[in-house]
Structure 1
């Protein structure tokens, strides 16, 4: 130091603090559980929250959208075929003006009603068909989630907990199922059943839970020899109680994360099958079949592919971003 302080340090400056034993042991900070801390970190993730809001809006539109204009999914009228999108009040936007190649198609065909997403080559309302197709994608997502939880978690939990001969037998069965590609499953099912939602559902139930089973098995192998499991077994808990009351709840973070990543894979799988003609058939609609129908007229009427493509892209992107947000929220290395 360049200058000395004039303050003199004396004993009178120091006063002892007298604290009772109860005061010294009191926790000054608020205790936060791992779940609350994960929720707090998820809520502060702007990307994950924005994705959740977008998904909520898409789900609401999928539920109420097909009923707004009162059209049926297969309500055909060739006189209104290939109408471009038109929304009253947004006609100043080229995408919703009702014009195509500088011509007012609605005025030329003497159409008084507006079609927000336009119509297809058979005159069917694309707004209704798009949101009906979104319902199919969301149903597939729900089926994949249930398959992960009801089949993958139970299968992996039993395999990892019991180990030994049980684990070997279950893992060999899993390897046989995983060795058959999903597309082959679909082709085999089509030989027996008609293409459609039921066929896709069976294919998803047959294969989508495999990765979840492997992850849960790994968590069981890691947790089953820890002290809290030994204490529970010492107190008389059975194997079922230990698996479903102790081990699986302690693996819940990993289960949620893996489920969020399996959902977009199932949605894309259904869209791919419908696009190549092995999925949803006419007159039903899915996002994949709508993209396939619009692809045939892409150069003439690109809007028929645009809106289903935007919605399926938003579904895949938002589910993946939410999965990343959940992974960061449940990662103990990021706890503060």
Structure 2
């Protein structure tokens, strides 16, 4: 019996591959920007945030031009009308009692067709009687909350739910259209967000970049200035600015206050990144070649911290929106009658129990706007993180 032996395969022999294998191994090069965009689009929450911000921006910029009302137009006959009303059906006519005890008539589509005021008041029985024409009289019983309608001494129970077609989001305590005021309030908030981002990008990046690049005693002094600025409350800045600029608008005071102190967080982030990057070899090579410090900082170092800058700026936008709303809420922001999400929330406190929608609408807009920007910031943080792209 003969045995055959097979020579072992040389483990050091070069690998062979067919053209098909080479085609499968080939992978197109992908830039960092393309990887970042792809990573961002893979996060549904971040994409949803972008869509929401775009919709709200268009709503705030284009909406007021399409609205038949202005932000300060008052109609005391239509006070605190809700978006959805319980209309009382009286022989095919629909009536709603308002908060200031007037009687509003609606048509079948929810449009306001008439207002009856100057009724005969009976303060003892807490009833007000109106002549609605055709020999008919209706009585508002405001002893109960909400007020009910009565006819011939009997409460009318035949009611129907109707959407307020003329005022889609209702009216406030002065009869102003809530939808129009919400548009202007969002415009103020988005403008504040844009200004805050611009201030962060200009002052914060330049200040933090110079501090981190120079280092030493200059860095120590510049950072102590940042510490001093960040310890003073923003409310104090706004009050001082309003005192110094007597007669100026509250919006201008908030803008100046944000421009004065809001860049400190960005400066800290940029300074920390620059302190790390300035030790790398390509910075030393640029210095050896005689490149100026300004050119090294602007064209070599700052581009490497773009991801941190974008993420920080996006994360600070919701904080700026909340600061503006809070300042307006306590009376240090936008002055009436200009609409702001903060002033709308403050105005709604007087009618919180009888008309809670007046508070829920601006507060809901603030929450949606802040969530949208936070989702965008989270998406940018993950997309621009090199560890996520390995």
TM-score by length of 1: 0.86
For 1:3, the equivalent position in structure 2 comes to none
For 2:133, the equivalent position in structure 1 comes to none
CA distance in 1: counterparts of 2:40 and 2:5, whole angstroms: 50
Q: Aligned pair in 2 of structure 1 residues 315, 101: CA closer, same or farther (>3 Å)?
A: farther
Q: Aligned pair in 2 of structure 1 residues 170, 200: CA closer, same or farther (>3 Å)?
A: same
For 1:199, the equivalent position in structure 2 comes to 253
RMSD between aligned residues: 2.8
Query: In structure 1, the residue corresponding to 2:333 is in which secondary structure?
Result: coil
The structure 2 residue matched to 1:68, chosen from 58, 66, 69, is: 66
For 2:317, the equivalent position in structure 1 comes to 263
Contact 2:88 2:96 (8 Å CA) reproduced: no
Query: In structure 2, the residue corresponding to 1:301 is in which secondary structure?
Result: coil
The structure 1 residue matched to 2:104, chosen from 99, 109, 119, is: 109
1:29 and 2:30 are equivalent in the alignment: no
1:323 and 2:377 are equivalent in the alignment: yes
For 2:43, the equivalent position in structure 1 comes to 45
1:99 and 2:99 are equivalent in the alignment: no
How many residues of Structure 1 are paired with residues of Structure 2 in the alignment? Answer: 315
Contact 1:219 1:251 (8 Å CA) reproduced: yes
CA distance in 1: counterparts of 2:292 and 2:253, whole angstroms: 38
Contact 2:50 2:372 (8 Å CA) reproduced: yes
Contact 2:213 2:297 (8 Å CA) reproduced: yes
Name the larger-Rg structure.
Answer: 2
For 1:274, the equivalent position in structure 2 comes to 328
CA distance in 1: counterparts of 2:197 and 2:313, whole angstroms: 6
Q: CA deviation at 1:312?
A: 0.7
Query: In structure 2, the residue corresponding to 1:105 is in which secondary structure?
Result: strand
CA distance in 2: counterparts of 1:16 and 1:275, whole angstroms: 75
Match runs of 1:203-242 below 5 Å:
203-242=257-296
For 2:364, the equivalent position in structure 1 comes to 310
CA distance in 2: counterparts of 1:309 and 1:256, whole angstroms: 27
The structure 2 residue matched to 1:77, chosen from 70, 75, 94, is: 75
Q: Aligned pair in 2 of structure 1 residues 106, 299: CA closer, same or farther (>3 Å)?
A: closer
For 1:133, the equivalent position in structure 2 comes to 185
CA distance in 2: counterparts of 1:109 and 1:333, whole angstroms: 63
1:123 and 2:175 are equivalent in the alignment: yes
CA distance in 1: counterparts of 2:268 and 2:75, whole angstroms: 51
Q: CA deviation at 1:183?
A: 1.4
Unaligned ranges ≥5, structure 2: 106-111, 114-164
Q: CA deviation at 1:233?
A: 2.0
CA distance in 1: counterparts of 2:197 and 2:260, whole angstroms: 13
Query: In structure 1, the residue corresponding to 2:351 is in which secondary structure?
Result: coil
TM-score by length of 2: 0.75
Q: CA deviation at 1:235?
A: 2.4
Contact 1:195 1:278 (8 Å CA) reproduced: no
Contact 1:61 1:131 (8 Å CA) reproduced: yes
Q: Aligned pair in 2 of structure 1 residues 302, 27: CA closer, same or farther (>3 Å)?
A: same
For 2:143, the equivalent position in structure 1 comes to none
Answer 1 or 2: which has greater strand percent.
2
Answer 1 or 2: which has greater helix percent.
1
Contact 1:84 1:99 (8 Å CA) reproduced: no
Contact 1:174 1:210 (8 Å CA) reproduced: yes
For 1:285, the equivalent position in structure 2 comes to 339
Query: In structure 2, the residue corresponding to 1:319 is in which secondary structure?
Result: helix
